[in-house]
A and B are shown apart, each in its own frame.
Chain A
Amino acid sequence: MKLWKSLLAGAAAAVALAAAPLATTAANAADQTRIALVVKGLGIGFFEAANKGAEEAAKELGDVEIIYTGPTDTTAEGQIEVINALIAQKVDAIAISANDKDALVPALKKAMDRGITVISWDSGVAPEGRAMQLNPSSTPLIGNMIIKLAADNLPDGGDVAVLSASATATNQNAWIAAMKQVMPNYPNINLVATVYGDDLSDKSYREAQGLMQSYPDLKAIIAPTSVGIVAAAQAVEDAGKVGEINVTGLGLPSEMAGHVESGASKSFAIWNPIDLGYSATMIAYNLAKGKATAEPGAEIPMGRMGSVKLDENTEGAMADPFVYDKSNIEQFKSIF
């Protein structure tokens, strides 16, 4: 118990020390709008890329200083320390990707009470702790994207199958349901089966093999899960069916680079962290400057990404998932 307390005290001191240099640099930039991009944890490629987007937005806006910060471990406690430090520095806006939906609310409320604009992006905060939440995409957009990826490579149509995570996975089921809703827009595409690989590489691999055996005319496997898409691509490569069957869906560029190179996957999608950081910064700026208000139904401009429309929970979706293929995989595979 004692050990824990001293450890915690040590961690708090470390955070305070880490925050101190920020405070000094901030003092000499009083005329600038200071936007803090708070991430789940430092040293994560996805968030480093988001910071790149935020810097791009800052350059475009001119009078913005980005404070990229976050805890060294992905905990809510660490983020609370960071938020308190930012309140002390009197930043103009906080854009946060939260480690915990509810635990951060009191600290963020305190920030809002002091006149700081607070928005959440990527991983959201409960409505009372932020002005708005920016989702990378939305269920209908993702559902449409995964079928479109398959259809774009099948000009003459054909059979496609879905390889999902577990049969009870909420995200995947919502995306697949949204995909089925827009299927009538792709009349030549025929969905023959939905199978479940449980996000286990061996089971996903076996399910992909089973699909190829059961449906000899299969043209595409859609896997809206990062474990499944990699396993399916490997199964297609091992079966010697590269070029016959296209594996697509949602995956990470670093994990899919080899399979794009081999041709097993022509293209796949996932949100683009650079765009996400860019949009979050643009929104935070517009709200902090009073150029827009975050209320249900409002449209907030986000520079080159267009604008985001807020729903009744003041949440908005940024854009379609970003498509990765041979042309850009090299650039992104080292980012996330």
Chain B
Amino acid sequence: MSDVLLEIKKLNVFYGAIHAVKGIDIDVKKGEITTLIGANGAGKTSTLNSIVGLVRNKKGNIIYKGKEVSHLKPDAIVKSGIALAPEGRRIFPNLTVEENLQMGAFFRKDVAEVKRDLKWVLELFPRLKERLKQMGGTLSGGEQQMLAIARALMANPQILMMDEPSLGLAPLLVKEVFGVIKRVKREGKTVLLVEQNAAAALSIADYGYVLETGNIVLKGKGKELLANDEVRRAYLGVTV
């Protein structure tokens, strides 16, 4: 499987005078895990937010399944099959876990399939099943991250985009979250993963891009990047 599902060409993002993303090209291939790594302010989140339409001030092409989608609003993009688990989890604290999950499937009218997906998601995250009637805000950080991913999966997306799922989690939980991402891939979903935790992200990614102040400075297969001296020195803290 190597056909490109999502193609980003010469994407530029601006916040007022600040040029956050400077003409990057990214290919997301079907059924693979693609990762964007980089330090704070490299433009990773801006890239994801502009794909899903949350950032309006952008230039360049975003081509999904051969169609230009960069002009679409978030609701149209989510409907077309791109879901985002946003940075910092952003679950709804005063909605129950169940309601949070239903929000993920908000635009879907296929009641029977939503039910089936809910069952599937709860199988994937058995801990959420125990907490269905609990308020989202009462969950622990790790559980909230699981909920954020589960909520995005409820949209039945073709591409699941995750923004720093390891943010603020204990190492053991990071491992658990990345295990889940691998399982999501095995279920046939395409994943676009943004991470600062370069080691963890590259070890599960098929393909990776390294972003630095709005430019792509390196790209390659996950394992290759993991072995790359520059990446090791800059992001993995290994002295070479």
The answer on A and B forming one complex is no
A interface, CB within 8 angstroms of B: none
